[in-house]
Structure 1
Amino acid sequence: MGGMSEPKAAPNDTIYLCNFRVSVDGEWLCLKVLPVYYVSNNFPPTPELEKTTFYPNYPIGPRERDPVLIERSNLVNISKLVVKEVIDSSMKFGRQLDSDHIPLQHFFIVLEHVLRHGIKPKKGLLGPKKELWDLLQKVELLDTEAQDITASVRDLPTVRTHIGRTRAWLRLALMQKKLADYFRLLVSQPQLLSEYYEAPALLRSEEAYVISALLVSLNIVDCNLCVKEEDLDSQQGVIDFSLYLRTKRDLGEEDVLSISSGGGREGGGSREGSTAEGADENMTTVLDQKNYIEELNRHLNGTVSSLQEKVESLSTSNALIKEDLNISKDTIEKVQVENKRLRAELEKYRNIERMAEEEIPLIRSRVSLVQSSYENGMKELSQEFRVRLQQEMVRREEVEEEMNKQENIKKEMEITISHLEKDVSEKKEIISTLKGQLEDIKCINLEMYTKLAECEYEISQKGELVSKLEAKTKEISTMLTNLNNVSAECDKR
């Protein structure tokens, strides 16, 4: 962790600082080393120790000593600094950020730790392990725009592990400028998060909305990341916090800058040229800030609308709970009245029981007499009941035989009905085919009728032509006879 941790420490050791408190002072990161006995639960701290370890972002109390809460707050503060450094570097250089950009690498490391904070461990040796890639794949069910990047990550040949696919997915979402929207969709699904995260996880806490707002600010940053050329399956690097720590040298430079700014007011005429040259740069920064504020305003409007919906649902549930409370009060009053009534009846029954206990000897004597008479009567009636029982058994056998016959008849009827149904279905099919054939015959008859009418019409026309031709032949024959006569007369002359 810069100059404070060993260089071979794992990423988890550089992020989850249980023995440190992290706070933000303006644009600087402040770390405070906590004593060992402050973290321990066996020795409570003294008031002097509470006073020396006090920070504005960390209220003193038993709850704030929980390492999980300290890790969560540290991640939020580090995320603020890293996101600010990414935005400042992008605005300073005025170009697209690539994979070699150090603050961008820090951002992906911190974001990975944010997503992995509080994830449920593997249950048992054979139990399934919760992976971030499984959670990110469900984003495409919530937003259709995530289907393209999810499919692209699945088809990457250079990525083979779940954590590598997770890192590739985060980089593509950042280039798509939809990372904040996807993160907000995940945060708005508490049931889905409960399957993958423990209760004190960062994504299931209020700090998740802070991370979501920070991710919205990255929509003004343009990134050009080549996912295929990166080794995403291997372990990520360590964050160098020296970029974010304030040193004594920085404090001295701030004092010098303040003094120089005071002297610069006297020689302001000489700096007018430099301010004119930086006007364009200020304009670009103002436009970038404007775009950032608009994006942040859009995100805040979405969160406000969701919070309003939650408030309305809570108000309706509160009204329903009040109605249920009134109903329960009424039922309690009714139950109390019923309890009093039952107690009065119980007292009555107890009095009756006491009186019955006093009358038991008389009742026993009467019962003995009744029992003796009953036994005599039963002996007399037993023979009659035996005869009736035999008759009833015979009747029962007859009825059972009749029932068996009826059941056999019923089975035969069912079989015949099934056969009839099959015959009816076959006949229906035959009728349908006959109807089709009848329709075809009707069409053929109609065509024959039309052809017959046309033939009759042609025959009538041809008869007319024949009559005309016969008339012409008669005329020609008369003309021929006339000519013959004329030729004969000419020959005679």
Structure 2
Amino acid sequence: MAETPPLPTAGAESCSEEPARGGEWRPEEPRRAPAGGTDREGEAGPPPASPAGQSEPDSPVAAPFFLLYPGDGGAGFGVRPPPPQQRSWRTPPSPGSPLPFLLLSYPSGGGGGSSGSGKHHPNYLMANERMNLMNMAKLSIKGLIESALNLGRTLDSDYAPLQQFFVVMEHCLKHGLKAKKTFLGQNKSFWGPLELVEKLVPEAAEITASVKDLPGLKTPVGRGRAWLRLALMQKKLSEYMKALINKKELLSEFYEPNALMMEEEGAIIAGLLVGLNVIDANFCMKGEDLDSQVGVIDFSMYLKDGNSSKGTEGDGQITAILDQKNYVEELNRHLNATVNNLQAKVDALEKSNTKLTEELAVANNRIITLQEEMERVKEESSYILESNRKGPKQDRTAEGQALSEARKHLKEETQLRLDVEKELEMQISMRQEMELAMKMLEKDVCEKQDALVSLRQQLDDLRALKHELAFKLQSSDLGVKQKSELNSRLEEKTNQMAATIKQLEQRLRQAERSRQSAELDNRLFKQDFGDKINSLQLEVEELTRQRNQLELELKQEKERRLQNDRSIPGRGSQKSESKMDGKHKMQEEKVKLKKPLEESHRLQPHPMDEQDQLLLSEKPQVCQLCQEDGSLTKNVCKNCRGTFCDACSTNELPLPSSIKLERVCNPCHKHLMKQYFTSPS
């Protein structure tokens, strides 16, 4: 398998570039832990001076900033930047190094701290924010590159780490952005700086024109988001950002002096963006989506879960056990093959031993025959020698020839015997070696059998562990299935709630429309009958005052009459006549006063008091207009005092004696509206 080429690191890219301003570029530098904390090894430094040259407060009271620093968990908590004179590079983190961790940094102090502390200085706050954004950019770019390499280096717009990367870039571009004043108010947008890139890099004019021609984009924020996506697709986002950061005089029109784009953190982020050139991205951009996105950084993607590491360790243990099982099975097969080969060798050696034994027996028999023949030849030679001594010379010559032949034959037989003895010795030594080899093979076979027994026992243990793991896997699958069913039920409930919310929204819109129409009617009524209502109220007050005055006069007249009657007893008849005349006059005046009061009382709206409640309780619970039992409600018309349902009493109007809206039935509503529109005033 081909090796993956090494990715360009942020440190290497930053070192190859010239700094935009004086001095070297500095990535995230080591910070000092506060009192009570523990410095990380190799990162301790002298305590830095506060920006204002004052002492730091003892306890923080303001809202904390979340800072991110690479390190091992809580060992680097609370670190602070070193003195500005220190400008050394930090070695880039290795692939196995831990992820940065979150740090709470409080911008202002409380308690015994001075109110003029250096942490109140805006430069300190801006530095903290720049450090936060730079660390988040590091995390986002690192996670995006690693996940892209795992997924094949091709990503789409729905990929969550890619979306978080654009959110982080948007926050970096918005940091320290100056607000532009318009007639609608102040507006902050990072589209202005990005629009300048086409003047610095001619190749950026293409994506700028594409962004301007993209349909559906209505806001500068949407155009800036589209520009970032097109630049990433073009694999020149780092080049454009470097060209923009190098022009500080242009950026000063859009950013504050302490903004991220104006400081060296912006150059570091531009160097980090070089690593994204290995990624292929495909986006389906819609103007409505880009305009309406909410740019919130999701920190949960960069925080490790302890349970996940435990699960990974468990999976690693299972994988190791399965690998051991496969190795043991393979070793068992090799041992079986070795045992079979050794058994075949033992059989061959046994056959060879049997053959050598037979050959040894044959050789022994031949040696015995040769010894017998040698004895016979010796006897014959001795007999011939004796006969030669006694016989003539001719006979001796013939016998000498025969003797020489016999000696020659004896030498041959002796040599043959020596050869057979040597071969016998060789066979005996070979047999001894074979016996020794057999003993060693038997010992090796016994050892292999013992190892095989232990391996079989381990294999049985692994099978039992495998069954246990399979049972756990089945139970976990069952739990996952139950959770998926629960999720489906929750989704159904969510859909039902969404439908209910839509219905409630429709009813709310209907109620809003009815309220607006009622307000319109109220305004029209006030415009038409405001003066008339005021005059009627004045008349009612005047009539009430006259009535009270007349009642007072009547009371005084009665008292005066009683006194006169007591003083003159003979005037009884005159008293009765005058009394009758006074009663007639009082009744006439009462009738005269009663008519306008009754008319005004009839026009005044009456709140639902005990009389209305008795009316509702005494009358049958049926609408007087539609006469339906199912449409029963207790709505009383404030004009005719009748009982109606909701459908027959949906309208509200201000009655002549009140400017408040009162519920009236549909016939009274039509009658009053007709009366209002036909009245001359």
TM-score normalised according to structure 2 size: 0.32
Using CA pairs below 8 Å that are at least 6 residues apart, which structure has the higher relative contact order?
Answer: 1
User: Normalized per residue, which structure has more helix?
Assistant: 1
TM-score normalised according to structure 1 size: 0.43
